[in-house]
Amino acid sequence: MPTSREAILAALHARLSAQLPATALRGEVLPERVPAAGLLILRDGEPGEPEVTLSPLAYHYQHRAEIEAVVQGADLDAAFDTLTASVGTALAADRTLGGLCDWVEAEAPRPVDLPVEGAASLKAAVIPVVLHYSTADPLASPT
């Protein structure tokens, strides 16, 4: 059985894959071609230092994962806006990822334009996603 952290990240990836027309990958390198609907790459990020409560022992995380959003084509600004808005809509549809998380919230994207030699430019951004969750043991499966 996976840890709470892995279960939450897998659920986030599954939500992005199922709810969006863009291709959603996890932990992959940027492929040579960006699909017409866009590309999302989920990075596991950092769980950070947890707050700890005793009796019962619980570790409370604000895990910062990242979604890299990439579009390519003629109207970069509109495609980028559509893709990032759809990420927000998918996250807002279930802020607990099926009860695995206390709360999921995205932060504003940090966009950059990337020129590509001999091809259409890319517009990309990192979208920080904060996953609030608690676990009894940061290295074991939830009980």
Q: Is the pTM of this model over 0.85?
A: yes
- For 32, the token pair is 């040579």
Helix, strand, coil percentages (3-state) for the chain, rounded to 5, are: 25, 35, 40
Please list the ranges in the chain whose pLDDT falls under 50: none
Give the pLDDT score at 133.
Answer: 96
Give the pLDDT score at 113.
Answer: 76
Give the pLDDT score at 141.
Answer: 65
Q: At which residue do the structure tokens 């989920």 appear?
A: 42
Q: Does residue 65 contact residue 42 with C-beta atoms inside 8 Å? A: yes
At residue 84, what are phi and psi to the nearest 5 degrees?
A: -70, -35
